[in-house]
Structure 1
Amino acid sequence: MRRRAVVVVLDAVGAGALPDAADYGDAGTNTLAHVAELARGLRLPNLQRLGLGSILPLQGVAPAEAPAVHGRLHPLGPGKDSTTGHWELMGVAARTPRPTYPNGFPPSVIDAIEQASGRRVVCNAPTDGIAVIEQYGERALRDGALIVYTSQDSVLQIAAHTDALPATELHGLCARVRKLMVGEHAVGRVIARPFDGAPGAFERTRERRDFALAPTSRSHLDELREAGVQTHAVGKVGQLFGGRGFARQHPGATNAEAIASTTRLMDELDEGFVFTNLIETDQVYGHRNDVAGFHGALREIDAAVGEWERLLRPGDLFVLTADHGCDPAHPGTDHTREYAPLLALFDGHDGRRHDGPLADVGASVLRWLAGRDAPAVPGAPFVP
């Protein structure tokens, strides 16, 4: 029988604080529960039927009578960003945390960026991506300056106005900066953040691009490719792995685009693996503490889940999960160190609860599609 596996990551849709969350300043966080509380109840009929309310108590989402396999997943290593979460889902766990810059980048890094670009750097501080272009966008437009900033995560972000530096040139610059950020400054990602518009109405464009480190160890993606499985990345997933492990990459700069790409692949593919990221619960709503927008994005995802269920065939594995949290009830706008929810549909599932490492997802995909395990890669399958 030809088999397919689809893993959809609901970016930043955390399911409760991890035991070490206090070490990150994230004690008591719970993205899903707090969004539900602040929204006065979630309305997610398809996710409810699959068992979202069976994973943890959620206002407006009752436990399911006949749930899918459900539970909570945790990382094996440190970190709380998209690279960490997606790598962990495929069995790559960092041994030590990547560098972060709570006081901004040192002069040596800024000097290297200015020399590589021939442009002046402004900001150089941890800040919110929307606020930073409101504060420095006019200088970026007028003077061609680069807005360099970071967050609690291991990232170096460069924003530039497209009239002063076209997006393709910003991408090229960030690729060069990625090569500079090695050794003690080997950040998880260098992120290009083009924006356009006039002062007072600046907007980030759809041409964001992530330049991540290559995975630091063998992954379930490597195992799948060696087994001859066709692998498809939707959205920023391919960028998070530096393109490694994927035969094809498909557009997904917005949730609507990623949902459309995933729907098309599920309709057309007869076999293979689809790995999708739905970015807006993180990028658009999570980092802005926009509870109404977050709930709206979840409702859009819920509707897509109903359509994806109709496209499932015998021999399909379908997984919904997350990579970290971004709790709107928590001070600040950064990611939060949380469990990821798990919902999994496949032939013969018994609706049991499964709690374990994020890597169990990759291990399950490998067994489902290749009929074997990878003992050297973390993770234990929850599929037969």
Structure 2
Amino acid sequence: MNNRIIWLILDSVGMGELPDAYQYGDEGSNTIGNVSKAVGGLKMPNMIELGLGNIDNIKGLNRSHHPKGIFARVAEKSNGKDTTTGHWEMVGIYSENGFPIYPDGFPKVIMEQFEKAIGRGYLGNYAASGTEIIKELGAEHMKTGYPIVYTSADSVFQIAAHEAIIPLEELYEICQKTRELLVGENAVARVIARPFAGKEGEFVRTSNRKDFSLEPPKDTLLDHVKSAGMDVIGIGKIEDIFAGKGITQAVHTKDNMEGIDKTIEFMNKESTGIIFTNLVDFDSKYGHRNNYIEYANALEVFDQRLPEIIKHMKDDDILLINADHGCDPTTASTDHSREFVPFVGYGKTLKEGINLGTRCSFADIGQTIAEILQVQEIGLGESFARDIMK
């Protein structure tokens, strides 16, 4: 039997603070639990049927008496709470120190190098919400032509520009030059192009975001699968997170619904290996904006589409669903939160109702996939393949 993995990442859908959350200022964070409480309960019958509500210590969801899937609570071993750290750990990279962050903006020496590299000035250079900073500085940007620079609690150097002032290709070129500058102790995880459009008072970000990520420092599960002659299809921002390394085919998406559409499209094609999808709206549109109502709605809409995904699974396909960190929209913070993440799996080749308890690393998932696909181990995490396969 030739299993294929359909791997969905519900970006930022955490399920309760990790023991060291206090070191990150994240005490009390519980993305699923707090969202459910804030809206008077989440309607996620399909995920509950697979076992989401049966995960140890999960809050705000009903339990299933006969869950059809496998399920676990998974801790992050690496030090961090961002997209790159989480995704890299899943496929075999432990990040001991995390990536550099700049809550007070980037140092003068970096910004001087930035100006020299791009041949113009800049606006901003502080931590901000992407939608708020274009409201604040968009008009000045239109007059000066200077790009807007900002960061967040994540390891990111974000560059916003109006598409009519700095064309996309030029913005991408600026980001590439910035990526080349930020090395060594200033090697941020991602440089992000944040194009926007519209007129003053009505600026909106477009879907032409592009991430310029650090390349993973070593081969990962994705490289092993690719080297074995199988497909690694990245949907959403997966290609960006891994700087294209280990990816055989990629498609970028504008929202969760297109991410699901593209996943199903690839499921219906002949392929092997992994279809790896990141659904980012939970995080980017609702978590960071503390919009718990729309966060809840996005969870329920995903759940409504789950039967459609399952319907398109081949007999030997395995569906795995987990998150990469938290981003509790009910707390005062607009940043990611250091949380456990839920993990749910389903497939005709898997047992039913298996509670895998609390796992010590996101890499347990990657190690399990390596064993199922019979490729090289990733050197991190413990496989639970034998516990779940029929």
Would the TM-score normalized by the shorter structure come out above 0.5? Answer: yes
Work out whether 1:368 is the aligned partner of 2:372: yes
Secondary structure of the equivalent of 1:268?
coil
Query: Are 2:10 and 1:6 aligned?
Result: no
Pairs within 5 Å for 1:262-273: 262-273=263-274
Equivalent position SS for 1:105 = coil
**Contiguous gaps of at least 5 residues in structure 2:** none
Give the equivalent residue in structure 2 for 1:381: 383
Closer/same/farther in 2, CA of residues 229 and 118 from structure 1, 3 Å limit:
same
Q: Residues 76 and 60 from structure 1, CA distance in 2 versus in 1: closer, same or farther, beyond 3 angstroms?
A: closer
Alpha carbons 1:53, 1:64 under 8 Å: kept: no
Corresponding residue number in structure 1 for 2:28: 28
Q: Distance in 2 between matches of 1:141 and 1:64?
A: 58
Shift of 1:316: 1.4
> Alpha-carbon deviations, 1:61-98, whole Å to 9, x = none?
33452241111112221111111111111111112121
Distance change in 2, residues 1:53/1:339 (3 Å): same
In the other structure, the counterpart of 1:159 is: 160
1:254 aligns to 2:255 (yes or no): yes
In the TM superposition, what is the alpha-carbon distance from 1:117 to its structure 2 partner? 1.6
CA distance in 2, matches of 1:300, 1:114: 44
Quote the residue 2:146 is aligned against. Answer: 145
| Contact 1:71/1:341 (<8 A) preserved | yes
* Contact 2:77/2:94, CA 8 A, preserved across alignment: yes
Helix, strand or coil at the partner of 2:126: strand
Q: Which amino acid aligns with 1:143?
A: T
| Whole-Å separation in 2 of the counterparts to 1:348 and 1:263 | 20
Structure-2 separation of matches of 1:192 and 1:372: 35
For residue 188 of structure 2, what is the aligned residue in structure 1?
187
**2:307 maps to which residue?**
306
Cα 1:348–1:184 shift into 2, 3 Å: closer
**What residue in structure 2 maps to residue 53 of structure 1?**
53
Contact 2:365–2:383 under 8 Å retained in 1:
yes
* Equivalent residue letter for 1:26: D
Deviation of the 1:272 alpha carbon:
2.4
In the TM superposition, what whole-angstrom CA distance separates every residue of 1:147-169 from its partner, at most 9, and x where no partner exists? 11111111111111111101221
Cα pair 1:52 1:70 within 8 Å, conserved: yes
Give the conservation status (yes or no) of the 8 Å contact 1:2–1:315.
yes
In 1, the alpha carbon distance for the partners of 2:30 and 2:68 equals 22
Higher deviation after alignment, 59-68 or 229-238: 59-68
The question of whether the paired residues in 1 share the 8 Å contact of 2:367 and 2:382 is answered with yes
Q: CA deviation at 1:304?
A: 2.1
Counterpart Cα distance in 2 of 1:372 and 1:174:
35
Cα drift, residue 2 of structure 1? 2.8
In structure 1, the residue corresponding to 2:321 is in which secondary structure? Answer: strand
Q: Distance in 1 between matches of 2:61 and 2:227?
A: 44
Map 1:15-94 → 2, pairs under 5 A: 15-55=15-55, 56-94=57-95
Going from structure 1 to structure 2, the CA distance change for 1:243 and 1:372 (only over 3 Å counts) comes to: closer
TM-fit CA distance, 1:28: 1.6
What 5-or-longer segments of structure 1 have no aligned partner? Answer: none
**Residues matched between the structures, number:** 382
| Aligned residues: CA RMSD | 1.4
Shift in Å at residue 305 of structure 1? 1.3
Aligned 8 A contact 1:3 1:270 in 2: no
User: Cα offset for 1:321?
Assistant: 0.2
User: What is the SS of the residue equivalent to 1:5?
Assistant: strand
Query: Quick check: 2:48–2:61 contact (8 Å CA) kept in 1?
Result: no
* Contact 1:42 1:61 (C-alpha < 8 Å) held by counterparts: no
Please tell me the residue identity of whatever aligns with 2:156: V
For residues 294 and 270 of structure 2, the distance between their equivalents in structure 1, rounded to whole angstroms, comes to 32
User: Kindly, what percent of the aligned residue pairs are identical?
Assistant: 38
- Give the SS at the match of 2:193: strand
- Which residue matches 2:102? 101
Q: What is the rounded CA distance, in whole Å, between the counterparts of 1:82 and 1:64 in structure 2?
A: 34
Q: 1:344 to 1:148 in 2, by over 3 A?
A: same
- The alpha carbon displacement at 1:372 in A equals 4.5
Tell me if the contact between 1:54 and 1:67 (Cα under 8 Å) persists in the aligned partners: no
Output the amino acid matched with 2:38: L
Letter of the 1:352 counterpart: I
Q: SS at the partner of 2:89?
A: helix
Q: How far is the alpha carbon of 1:60 from its aligned partner?
A: 4.8
Q: Shift in Å at residue 139 of structure 1?
A: 1.1
Question: Aligned AA for 2:355?
Answer: R
